[in-house]
């Protein structure tokens, strides 16, 4: 058995409202909010980055119950690794106190780098190479002022500790599969600060093709259909795409809404799907099935089926993960300062 043993998420407390950004560029706030489905997004502090966010999520994941030095592998996925060369994973590993007997690597695949980490760690555990592996998705997303991404690019991190002990697993990894292609919908060149995208091309040929592609592959592989699941989680680049893809696949609002965090935090890129999963795990009962599909531009989707175990109730009693606690609103000049744009 392989599955989630513990998890943690961290979203910075600062928020900027869609209407505040729209006000600056003299756009109609209601129109933007309706077309993107985002009310406000999370903004990291000036002194936070993908390393510090990932560390906060990992600390919450391990809590006081899980020993860092048992971790055999740590993989960190991000689009905003602070270094082009120097691993985020070992900086986090060092501060966690993992020791030295571990494998570490940084991953990049736009917004699906975090779920890529889960697939790889599952492989390491299955092969018997490690007993525990930590998968982290973390980003302090960047966007060019006035670009449409400015309303959605958020900040956040989530960490999942995977293991092989049926006594500990709270959500079993039942199956997974992936759908990949070479599709230039969103990219960032080395040394360039802000990402670029190809407008409406990021819709049907990119997000929808890959999410639907991976979902259907997984339904076929496992001989399942939407009605077999209690929850669904999709990557949330905005507040519209995941709603549409859930509907097109045949999921209901009830299955979808518990994971739908984007309207309140925006898109924390590599942490988006994972924070959606964390949101579901906060309320899921034992023996419930979760269908999860991420999306990373460039492009690819990782699809997973999770099944909660009886241990999830006891786990929730101990954990003090406050997913989205207090928030503080900031204005646009402060947003520019905190994102180091000015």
Cβ at position 323, least distance to other proteins in Å: 15
Strand order from edge to edge, sheet including 155-163:
103-107, 71-77, 132-140, 155-163, 3-10, 171-183, 298-308, 289-293, 231-234
328 belongs to the binding site for other proteins (CB under 8 A):
yes
CA dist., res. 53 & res. 46, Å (int) = 12
Q: Per-residue string for binding with other proteins, 228-267, x by CB under 8 A?
A: ----------------------------------------
235 is catalytic: yes
* Torsions phi, psi for 47 (to 5 deg): -100, 15
Sign of CA dihedral 212, 218, 112, 239: positive
CA dist., res. 247 & res. 298, Å (int) = 24
Range 116-150 burial, b when 16+ CB lie within 10 A, else e: bbbbbbbebbeeeebbbbbbbbbbbbbbeeeebbb
Nearest to other proteins of 240, 327 (CB atom): 327
What's the number of CA atoms in the CB half-sphere (13 Å) around residue 220? 8
Q: Which of 69, 94, 228, 331 binds other proteins (CB under 8 A)?
A: 94
- Using CB under 8 A, which residues numbered 50 to 89 contact other proteins? 51-52, 55-56, 59, 82-83, 86
- Using CB under 8 A, which residues numbered 197 to 226 contact other proteins? none
Nearest to other proteins of 44, 118 (CB atom): 44
340 belongs to the binding site for other proteins (CB under 8 A):
yes
Q: Per-residue string for binding with other proteins, 278-317, x by CB under 8 A?
A: ----------------------------------------
- Four-CA torsion 89, 93, 99, 102, nearest 10 degrees: -30
User: Among 48, 79, 119, 150, which one carries the catalytic annotation?
Assistant: 79
79 is catalytic: yes
Range 35-69 burial, b when 16+ CB lie within 10 A, else e: ebbbbbbbbbeeebbbbbbbbbbbbbbbeeebebe
Nearest to other proteins of 227, 342 (CB atom): 342
Cβ at position 55, least distance to other proteins in Å: 6
Q: With CB under 8 A, what is the number of residues at the site for other proteins? A: 24
13 belongs to the binding site for other proteins (CB under 8 A):
yes
Cβ at position 95, least distance to other proteins in Å: 6
Residue with tokens 């690597």: 105
- Using CB under 8 A, which residues numbered 107 to 166 contact other proteins? none
User: Among 81, 111, 197, 232, which one carries the catalytic annotation?
Assistant: 111
Nearest to other proteins of 285, 337 (CB atom): 337
Q: Per-residue string for binding with other proteins, 17-56, x by CB under 8 A?
A: ----------------------------xxxxx-xx--xx
Question: From the centroid of its chain, how far is CA 339?
Answer: 20
CA dist., res. 296 & res. 143, Å (int) = 16
Taking only Cα atoms into account, the Rg of the chain, rounded to an integer number of angstroms, comes to: 19
CA dist., res. 100 & res. 161, Å (int) = 18
Cβ at position 82, least distance to other proteins in Å: 6
- What does the binding site for other proteins look like in residue numbers (CB under 8 A)? 13-14, 45-49, 51-52, 55-56, 59, 82-83, 86, 91, 94-95, 97, 325-326, 328, 337, 340
Residues with catalytic roles? 79, 111, 235
């Amino acid at each position: 058995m392989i599955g989630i043993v513990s998890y943690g998420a961290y979203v910075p407390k600062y928020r900027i409202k869609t209407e505040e950004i729209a006000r600056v560029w003299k756009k109609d706030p209601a129109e933007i909010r309706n077309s993107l489905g985002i009310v406000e997004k999370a903004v990291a502090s000036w002194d936070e980055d993908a390393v510090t966010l990932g560390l906060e999520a990992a600390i919450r994941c391990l809590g006081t119950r899980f020993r860092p030095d048992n971790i055999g592998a740590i993989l960190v996925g991000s689009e905003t690794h602070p270094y082009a060369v120097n691993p985020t994973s070992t900086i986090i590993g060092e501060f966690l106190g993992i020791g030295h007997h571990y494998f570490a690597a940084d991953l990049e695949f736009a917004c699906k780098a975090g779920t890529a980490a889960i697939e790889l760690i599952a492989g390491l555990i299955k092969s018997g190479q490690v007993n525990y592996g930590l998968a982290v998705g973390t980003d302090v997303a960047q966007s060019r002022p006035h670009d449409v991404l400015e309303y959605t690019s958020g900040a956040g991190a989530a960490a999942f500790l995977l293991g092989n002990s049926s006594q500990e697993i709270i959500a079993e990894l039942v199956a997974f599969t992936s759908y990949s292609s070479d599709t230039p919908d969103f990219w960032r060149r080395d040394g360039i600060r802000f990402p670029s995208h190809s407008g409406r091309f990021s819709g049907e040929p990119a997000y929808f093709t890959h999410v639907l592609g991976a979902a259907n592959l997984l339904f076929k592989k496992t001989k399942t259909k939407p009605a077999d699941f209690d929850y669904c989680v999709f990557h949330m680049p905005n507040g519209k795409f995941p709603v549409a893809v859930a509907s097109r696949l045949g999921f209901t609002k009830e299955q979808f809404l518990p994971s739908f965090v984007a309207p309140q935090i925006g898109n924390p890129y590599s942490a988006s799907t994972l924070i959606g999963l964390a949101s579901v795990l906060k309320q899921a009962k034992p023996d419930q099935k979760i269908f999860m599909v991420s999306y990373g531009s460039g492009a690819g989707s990782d699809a997973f089926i999770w099944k909660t175990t009886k241990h999830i109730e006891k786990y929730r009693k101990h954990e003090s993960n406050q997913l989205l606690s207090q928030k503080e609103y900031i204005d646009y000049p402060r947003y520019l300062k905190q994102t180091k744009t000015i």
